Amino acid sequence: MDHMPDTTATRVLLAAPRGYCAGVDRAVIAVEKALELHGAPIYVRKEIVHNKYVVETLSERGAIFVNETDEVPEGARVVFSAHGVSPAVREGAAERNLLTIDATCPLVTKVHKEAVRFAKSEQTILLIGHEGHEEVEGTAGEAPEHTIIVNSPEEADTIEVPDPDNVVWLSQTTLSVDETMETVRRLRERFPNLQNPPSDDICYATQNRQVAVKKARSRM
């Protein structure tokens, strides 16, 4: 018996925008330009983007990805990825006489500066983000003695602060907007005087992609 062709149609929805953001694109270009200008090897702290193809392509051209700057030979060039680094990482690089190229996303740099400013005002910073993520490590490293990481909405119900009337929240730039706002809501239930950052910390590209996915889901 002849098999009938499978005529089942598959519907594919492409979210727009998609792909990595301008900050990551800027960091990838920084590595490419460094390779063009200085030649291989160029060291990169952490993966420049969570994209296997891009990382492998840069590795083939002479980029060497490391976890920490102490893996980089003294005097070599190293690129800091878009996620940013803490002051301790910069100090460690200086001690090893590394030639640093800072590809930190400007939006991440903004959050770092906010953390420094709030710490100078002796405020407790509730940093909403995933502990262990390199961006969170970098931001928390700006004011470790003033920062408490809040990993989830549930964690917002249990954290303790020195002064409930002197708290401000910041967030990792790549979080779910909905989950972050739920965490803020639950924090504010416990700390009514919780201060907002001067502007949204979550990256506009992250927000736009989340909205695009929601639209795609609504059409399924």
CATH classification of the domain holding 66: 3.40.50.11270
Dihedral pair phi/psi, residue 148, rounded to 5° = -125, 125
* Residue 115 within any structural domain of the chain: yes
Out of 20-34, 89-103, 193-207, which region has the weakest mean confidence (pLDDT)?
193-207
Tell me whether the omega of the peptide bond preceding residue 162 falls within 30 degrees of 0, making it cis: no
Domain count, the chain: 2
Helix axes 22-38, 106-120, angle to 10 degrees: 110
129 with 145, same domain: the answer is yes
Place of tokens 């809040």: 150
Position 104 pLDDT exceeds 90: yes
Q: Are residues 74 and 45 in the same domain?
A: yes
Task: Give the CA angle between residues 21, 217, 14 to the nearest 5°.
Answer: 50
Residue 200: helix, strand or coil by DSSP?
coil
Residues 111, 202, single domain; the answer is yes
Q: Are residues 193 and 134 in the same domain?
A: yes
**Do residues 126 and 183 both lie within one domain?**
yes
What is the mean predicted confidence (pLDDT) over 137-163? 97
- Indicate the burial class of 140 (C-beta count within 10 angstroms; 0-12, 13-18, 19 or more): buried
Instruction: Return the biggest CA–CA distance within the chain.
Output: 80
Of 104, 124, 145, at which residue does a domain stop?
Answer: 104
Sequence-distant (6+) residues with CB within 8 A of 42 are 31, 34, 35, 62, 63, 64, 77, 78, 79
Does 85 map to a domain? Answer: yes
61 and 100 part of one domain:
yes
pLDDT score for 51: 84
Which residue range is the domain that position 82 belongs to?
22-104
Tokens of 27: 């960091």
Q: Token pair of 196, please?
A: 């907002």
Distance set, CA 176 to CA 145, 181, 205, 218 (Å):
26, 9, 12, 18
**Does 44 fall in a domain?**
yes
Q: Which of 114, 134, 135, 142 is catalytic?
A: 135
Assess if residue 168 is contained within a domain: yes
Q: What is the pLDDT of residue 14?
A: 45
Among candidate residues 71, 104, 137, the one where a domain is terminated = 104
Residue 135 is a catalytic residue:
yes
Domain boundary among 86, 104, 122: 104
> Which residues, 6+ apart, have CB-to-CB distance to 217 below 8 Å?
none
- pLDDT band of residue 17 (cuts 50, 70, 90) is very low
Give the Cα separation of 17 and 206 in Å (integer).
Answer: 10
Q: Please give the Cα distance from 185 to 200 (Å, whole number).
A: 15
In whole angstroms, give the CA distance from residue 152 to residue 143: 21
Region 145-165 average pLDDT: 97
Per-residue pLDDT band at 3 (split at 50, 70, 90): low
Considering the domain architecture, whether residues 78 and 130 belong to the same structural domain is answered as no
pLDDT tier at 217, thresholds 50, 70, 90: very low
Q: Residue 207: which pLDDT band, with cuts at 50, 70 and 90?
A: very low
In a domain, 165, yes or no: yes
Average pLDDT over residues 178-198: 95
Residue 84 domain flag: yes
Residue 212 predicted with pLDDT over 60: no
Residues 61 and 97 in one domain: yes
